[in-house]
Amino acid sequence: MIIELDDAADERLADYTRLTDVALRRRLETERGLYMAESTKVIARAVEAGHAPRSFLMARRWYESMCPVIAAATGCGGRDDGGDVPVFLAEEDLLRAITGFHLHRGALAAMHRPALVEAGRLLASARGGRGARRAAVLEDLVDHTNVGAAFRSAAALGVDAVLVTPRCADPLYRRSVRVSMGTVFQVPWTRIEEWPDLGGLHRAGWTVAALALSEDAVDLDAFAASPACTAPGSRVAVVLGAEGDGLAARTIAAADAVVRIPMAGGVDSLNVAAAAAVAFWALRVRQ
């Protein structure tokens, strides 16, 4: 249904108000089971992934270009007015008052969070049921930008699934989704309930590589050329640690291999998002 807005305090906008307040947003997204998709491209990717909208919010001038996305969304009944799903339209200055920032990427959508699946099921169901061959584990990353960037690299560089630890930043937080350009909807992911617990990966035949600076670490190129990565049907999970502190010592101890990216120029390490891209490229499945 199309709803023309003229009041930033409209009670129907509760999902969208004070979006720049990180603490509030985290609480509301958990309590209400929602996440925010920002920009026409990101919303389109969420809809393509089968995620259902709670509502849409946009400037009037973006409505026409959003009509196909709205009509395709689950729950909208194929109607570009959203059917029973509210489509809020407002002028630019009112949108700024509602959201607290300039909405210059077209639209926002409050989306229902899909239920997460158990890690083993996720890995087995990846690639259309053929099973994942490469996976990433994000351990306790706190920066939403880095989480989003890691997902974008995963989507681009052949990572079939991502597992995030209990304390890792939310991949569906608004900034994570935006930085990922919506690829958080393309790469299957779930949150591990207990960590570190590599037993399930080991029992399923995965080689777990911890990306870390360690005296016994092997160079990334050498590990990528090893049978663990080159054997037919090989399954490799690379674990990336938090900004600053890196991986926990017990995670490193439980891994099958500790791997480092050789550095030059007196640099000791890369930002975790950059390191993820390098590792994903080096460890990709080669046909």
- Asked whether the beta carbons of 85 and 54 are under 8 A apart, the reply is yes
**Hey, what's the torsion of the CAs at 119, 123, 126, 128, to 10 degrees?**
-100
* pLDDT tier at 229, thresholds 50, 70, 90: very high
Matching fold, domains 2-112 and 119-282: no
**Hey, what's the torsion of the CAs at 190, 195, 196, 199, to 10 degrees?**
-60
Q: Which of 15-19, 22-26, 67-71, 87-91 has the highest mean pLDDT?
A: 67-71
Which pLDDT value is given to residue 146?
96
The span from the CA of 31 to the CA of 45, in Å, is: 24
Planar angle of CA 122, 237, 192, nearest 5 degrees = 45
Burial of 285 (0-12, 13-18, 19+ CB in 10 A): middle
- Asked whether the beta carbons of 211 and 279 are under 8 A apart, the reply is yes
Nearest residue to 30 (alpha-carbon basis) of 224, 158, 149, 170: 170
Q: Which two tokens stand for residue 255?
A: 């891994």
Which pLDDT value is given to residue 246?
85
Is pTM, for the whole model, over 0.75? Answer: yes
* pLDDT tier at 122, thresholds 50, 70, 90: very high
Question: So where are the chain's domains?
Answer: 2-112, 119-282
The span from the CA of 263 to the CA of 275, in Å, is: 11
Which pLDDT value is given to residue 270?
85
Query: 87-90 and 161-164: which strand pairing?
Result: unpaired
Averaged pLDDT, 241-263: 90
Q: CATH homologous superfamily of domain 119-282?
A: SPOUT methyltransferase, trefoil knot domain (3.40.1280.10)
Which pLDDT value is given to residue 274?
95
Averaged pLDDT, 125-142: 95
End-to-end CA distance of the chain: 49
The fold of 2-112 is: 60s Ribosomal Protein L30; Chain: A; (3.30.1330)
pLDDT, the chain, mean? 88
Q: Is residue 105 predicted with pLDDT exceeding 80?
A: no
Which pLDDT value is given to residue 38?
85
Averaged pLDDT, 137-143: 94
pLDDT digits (tens, 9 = 90+) for 10-66: 888 888 876 655 655 666 666 668 888 888 888 999 999 999 999 999 988 889 999
Averaged pLDDT, 124-149: 95
Averaged pLDDT, 127-151: 95
Which pLDDT value is given to residue 214?
82
Averaged pLDDT, 105-109: 80
